[in-house]
């Protein structure tokens, strides 16, 4: 009797319990675990990435508009042509004659045999006439004054004098002449500067520093001959 009552109680409890909903209803079991319902698609995407199977997106080409050469600004072309440097051309009469040269390139115009082998007497006379026509004689002018300086012009002084070096023209004291000369001339970097100082201090008439012991008017071994020779 006791067992019968227990069975009835169990049946009553079972009838009162609610039905548990099936949360997995409608889901196809692929056997690959939760959250991997589309695993085949995932595998395909992963393999494509690993193999570098990607599609590159290429931008469409930019359209280029062609311009005909005739449409270039003609005004700019004309302006450039106007500012171009003209090419100098030599006239036929200014064409230099062919000079006679030896194997090393030195002129042989003074060699009569070499000149005669290249041109005749008439051609040589014509060339000489052309050279004389192109020769210009420049007349000598006065020496320019040095700007910004009151120093005497030693070139002008050399051309105004004609006595040779060592020819005594002015009286000088012989007392300690060599000592004064060496001391005075040692203070100048060149004989030109010494001569300028000598003239600015009253020379050639006076020589208080002993720069011209022989009295020729030229201090500290200064020599006027190169300037005189240049005059001709």
With tokens 């030195």, the residue in question is 106
Q: Cβ distance 76 to 69 under 8 Å?
A: no
Each residue's pLDDT tens digit, 169-191: 999 988 899 999 999 999 999 99
Q: ∠ at Cα 78 (77, 80), nearest 5°?
A: 65
Q: How far apart are CA 116 and CA 121, in angstroms?
A: 8
User: What string of DSSP letters covers 137-155?
Assistant: PPPP-PPPPPTT-----HH
Q: Which residues are registered as beta bridge partners of 101?
A: 107
With tokens 């003074």, the residue in question is 110
Question: Is the pLDDT assigned to residue 216 strictly greater than 70?
Answer: yes
- The rounded mean pLDDT for the chain is 73
**Alpha helices for the chain (secondary structure H):** 2-16, 39-50, 74-82, 112-118, 121-134, 154-160, 177-185, 191-200, 225-231
Q: Tokens representing 123?
A: 């051609």
Q: Tokens representing 160?
A: 């105004």
Each residue's pLDDT tens digit, 141-166: 665 666 666 778 999 999 999 999 99
- pLDDT band at residue 65 under the 50/70/90 scheme: low
Q: Could you count the other beta carbons within 10 Å of the beta carbon of residue 109?
A: 13
| Minimum mean pLDDT range among 16-30, 164-178, 214-228 | 16-30
Query: Which of 24-38, 66-80, 148-162, 213-227 holds the top average pLDDT?
Result: 213-227
Q: Closest by alpha carbon to 96, among 150, 137, 133?
A: 133
């Amino acid at each position: 009797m006791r067992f019968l009552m227990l069975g009835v109680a169990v049946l009553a409890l079972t009838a009162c319990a609610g039905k548990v909903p099936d949360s997995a209803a409608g889901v196809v079991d692929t056997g690959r675990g939760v959250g991997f319902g589309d695993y085949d698609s995932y595998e395909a995407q992963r393999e494509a990435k690993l193999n570098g199977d990607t599609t590159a997106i290429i931008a469409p080409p930019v359209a280029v508009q062609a311009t005909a050469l005739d449409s270039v600004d003609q005004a700019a072309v004309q302006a450039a042509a106007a500012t171009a440097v003209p090419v100098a051309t030599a006239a036929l009469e200014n064409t230099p004659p062919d000079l006679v040269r030896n194997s090393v390139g030195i002129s042989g115009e003074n060699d009569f045999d070499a000149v005669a082998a290249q041109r005749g007497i008439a051609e040589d006379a014509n060339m000489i006439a052309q050279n004389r026509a192109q020769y210009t004689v420049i007349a000598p002018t006065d020496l320019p004054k040095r700007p910004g300086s009151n120093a005497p012009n030693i070139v002008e002084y050399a051309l105004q004098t004609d006595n040779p070096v060592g020819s005594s023209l002015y009286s000088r004291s012989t007392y300690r002449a060599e000592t004064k000369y060496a001391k005075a001339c040692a203070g100048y970097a060149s004989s030109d500067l010494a001569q300028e100082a000598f003239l600015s201090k009253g020379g050639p008439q006076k020589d208080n520093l002993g720069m011209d012991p022989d009295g020729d008017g030229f201090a500290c071994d200064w020599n006027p001959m190169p300037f005189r020779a240049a005059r001709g």
